[in-house]
Copies of this chain bind each other. A is one copy, B any other.
Amino acid sequence: MTTTAERRGGRASERALADLREAILEGELPAGAHLGEVEIAERLGLSRTPVREALTRLASEGLVELEAHRGARVTRFSREDLDGIFDVRLALEPQATARAADHATPADLDELEALAGAMLAVGAPGPEQDLDALVDLNRDFHARLLALAHAPALAAALANVVHTPVVTRTFRTYDPDSLARSLAHHAEIVAALRAGDGDWAGAVMRCHLGNARAVMVGER
């Protein structure tokens, strides 16, 4: 969501960026892994140039760390880092959610509700449960919500720090109760937006983040 820089490089550069990001977020490239430019270039069938550009961007997003003449490493997120990220989210996302109430059209709300519904269906305990699908749906939901706020600076601040995917990489760490709460929050946010009550929506988002923080960061 580096809005403008994202659509550079018709093909290769963008592909390298997307592939690397996915590999990191998917856990395929574990935290602390060394990323050699040639290694990645060969792996993707590209030259070093676009790979280098992709690494530069990932570094500015904070997903990798660059050390001069020593290559790049996948960033290691400590418990404190994660906690700090939740501080930022709590400072910004409720506000964004509240603003979404002023801009959301009925069509927008229908889409959000569909996502929330899908998450409830996919996340319900039982043999049909698919926690991986949940990750994508969740990402979509939050992204759309953020877009509805019509606050580009706010969205940029979040995008460049939160690494939502890192934080929301998996729902497997959620215990059943927390997961149920999380899914219910999405639906409640839509309800609040439908009611045009930004304060309510923002409050739900705060609950949502508090719940997530407890799961991911643990005891404070």
Contact = CB atoms under 8 A, between A and B. Distances in A.
A107 interface: no
Interface in A137-164: 151-154, 156-158, 160-161
A4 B58 CA distance: 11
Contacts of A10: 68-69
Contacts of A84: 151-154
A4 B2 CA distance: 18
B92 A9 contact: no
A7 interface: yes
Contacts of A69: 10
Given A53-B53, A157-B160, A161-B156, A95 B91 contact: yes
B156 A160 contact: yes
A160 B69 CA distance: 25
Given A88-B154, A91-B92, A95-B87, A59 B4 contact: yes
Interface string A57-73: 10111100110110000
Contacts of A8: 56, 59, 66, 68
A161 B155 CA distance: 9
Most chain B CB within 10 A, of A57, A92, A152, A157, is at A157
A139 B158 CA distance: 23
A177 to B, nearest CB: 28
B61 A154 contact: no
Contacts of A118: none
A68 B5 CA distance: 9
A85 interface: yes
A81 interface: yes
A7 B62 contact: no
A81 B66 CA distance: 31
Most chain B CB within 10 A, of A61, A154, A161, is at A161
A156 B4 contact: no
B160 A85 contact: no
